[in-house]
Chains A and B, each alone.
Chain A
Amino acid sequence: MNALPSKAFPLTIFCGKGGVGKTSMALAFALWHADQGRAVLVVTSHPLRELAVSVSLAGLQEAHPQAAANLFISHLDPFEILANKVKQVIPSERIVKKVLDSPIYKSLIEVAPGLKEIAFLGRLHQLSEERSVGETTGNFDLLVWDAPATGHFLQTMKVSQSFEMYLSGPFALLGKEVAEFFADFSNFAVIPVTTLEEMAVDETLELCGKLAAELTMRPSGLVSNMVSPLLVASDFDFDDLRRQAAEGEASKDLQFILDRHAIERSLFQRLRSSLDTEFYAIQRKPSWSSDLGLLWDLSRQLGGMIRN
């Protein structure tokens, strides 16, 4: 655990397989800091944003006013960002509208490889410049990116390093800035999220492998989500426990529970032996009264562990 850096909090990126809880982790992490009095901006490109965000945060204002006042969520739409770029380049509003409405523009934007990604990363970079640095107060203190699922995330990150297609025009400059920003590893922290299921763990290891091989990036930590309480319980001999259960009147049903747990343990072990990073285990709650209640509990579990 590092002390607070003098520079600024890095851009914190939660990534991983679909369905492992990236959005929940990003929000929980943001909530914890917001509750500590830091202004946090969560950036998401989630297309199901109504689902992912508004449902989870319903009731925040009443339950946790301090956190609510400091938490900001922004959905970045690449098409909007590109449209803004057009507005900057062309002074006349009439012509801007003509360009944006033209089928040529629309089709090229849709087809141009990597353009939407570079626009997104460009905006992200711009936002990270607006953070508080040291004594200088910015628009907010912390920037969190709820990244898309593995494949699309890697595609997006790769664009940050290959902008050769854009040799002229305003995007050449944008590409260059983005590449410089992501070449400096103190600017951002990548935190993959996984569940302890075979598919998810495979994908997490593949993600970390590709981050290292293709982008020379290393995760700053790894969150294992929805683990059973036994995984984080203090040390005891699980195999011995299993044997005792087998000797007793353990039914097939109990065997199911123990088998599942054994898989969970071995997958966690596999992650630990393959990756050299900090591990954070987040417990699965058996039930919760509201989405916000669950998220708040996650933020208590997670926030106390990860300190940038």
Chain B
Amino acid sequence: MPIEIFLGTGGVGKTSVAAATALKAALAGSKCLVLTIDPARRLQTALGIDSNGLEQRVPLDLLEGKGELWAALLDVRASLDRAVLRYAKPQEAKTILEHPVYQILITSLAGMQELLAIERIHQALEDGFTSIVIDTAPSRHALEFLDKPEFFTHLVSTPLVKLVGRTYKLWMASPLTLISKMSFELYSRVEEILGTALVHQILEFFSIFRKIAEGYSDRAQQTLALLRDPHTTSFTIVTTPFKAKRDGEYFLHELKRRKFYVNSLVVNRLWPAYPGTLPPGFPSPLQELVGWYQNVCDAHQRAWQEVSRQFSGDIPKLIPLPELSRDVDGLPALYNIVEEMER
């Protein structure tokens, strides 16, 4: 599948599973990019690379891979700068890049990550990647990268917003001649509530940024169409045994509602069973630890069985993955996951 998207709540091991999937694709010969939207630096650890470079090639020499593996963090500033430089006239680009609202947009606005993920997927396809693996942000923003672009697209195509963007400078000089009295009153009200300085800055910025925004929304629509095509894109829900029922139901429902196709459910971090009992003579704290451990294991197994029963009709692939004794910290550890996934 050219595009694979991994969703899940925090702490379930999304990044490791996504990175393992990417490794598998690269070993099979794809030019694969694994992109993480999650700002945490988990991906570098999982792949055993250290710098903060934008896009990095992961050496596969040890594993004799046929393809290429590239890793990237979603860098809001870099992705947006690239779009601005590419789609705006040089003078406009300079004004945009130096505008205070632009600085705020990229540094502090929650939601920019999600808005730009779609743009980044477009860029990756443009760059010739044949396989793209997306590791999304945890629960809070998990679905926002699908929702925000749609919202933004609607917004950009709203006539009044277009008008404000296009005529802002003229409007400030002679407002009532260009905009109806009603719209102007409405605008004044909003300005009164949010503060003049803030509104002016945003409008000024938007008037220049409009063209970029319109271009963005065209590309976003194309990319979203690709994500809705089950031949191009598959969604995988990653979860842990005790969260599996809730997470599975929630994400399956939300993705179906948005017309996206769920291909797999990964139940990660199942504790491997400890067979049998300790021989007598072991110290009692150890006996207790093992007993407690076995209880947790059994509960995990029961949860997995229930979940595989519940979702077997709705999700084609249900994949159990074991808990590892260490965090995934490099290709050899990642390769273990690839092997587990193929079982």
Contact = CB atoms under 8 A, between A and B. Distances in A.
Interface stretch (A6-14, A33-41, A59-67, A111-119): A111-119
Contacts of A116: 110
Interface string B187-204: 101111111111100100
Contacts of B189: 90, 95, 99
12 contacts: A20-B11, A51-B250, A89-B192, A104-B187, A108-B194, A110-B111, A111-B109, A155-B108, A241-B285, A244-B286, A249-B279, A259-B326
Which 3 A-B pairs rank lowest in CB-CB distance, beginning with the nearest? Answer: A18-B10, A19-B11, A286-B295
Contact of B192 (A169, A236, A249, A260): A169
Contact of B299 (A233, A261, A287): A287
Contacts of B293: 228, 257
Contact of A248 (B12, B138, B151, B282): B282
Given A112-B194, A241-B283, A148 B140 contact: yes
Given A236-B285, A251-B275, 18 more contacts: A18-B9, A18-B140, A19-B138, A20-B11, A103-B160, A104-B164, A108-B194, A108-B199, A110-B151, A112-B198, A113-B101, A113-B104, A151-B39, A165-B195, A170-B193, A199-B11, A230-B292, A254-B290
Contacts of A228: 289, 292-293
B289 A229 contact: yes
Contacts of A89: 192-193
Contact of B196 (A85, A169, A260): A169
A86 interface: yes
A229 B202 contact: no
A170 B195 CA distance: 7
B190 A172 contact: no
Contacts of A306: none
Interface string B284-305: 0110111011011011000000
Q: What is the interface of chain B mostly: helix, strand, loop, or mixed? A: helix
A241 B109 contact: no
Interface residues of A, number: 73
Contacts of A47: 139-140
B246 interface: yes
Contacts, number: 184
Contacts of B326: 259, 263
Q: What is the interface of chain A mostly: helix, strand, loop, or mixed? A: helix
A244 B282 contact: yes
Interface string A190-230: 00000101111001000000000000000000000000111
B325 interface: yes
A233 B286 CA distance: 11
Contacts of A199: 11, 40, 42, 45, 327
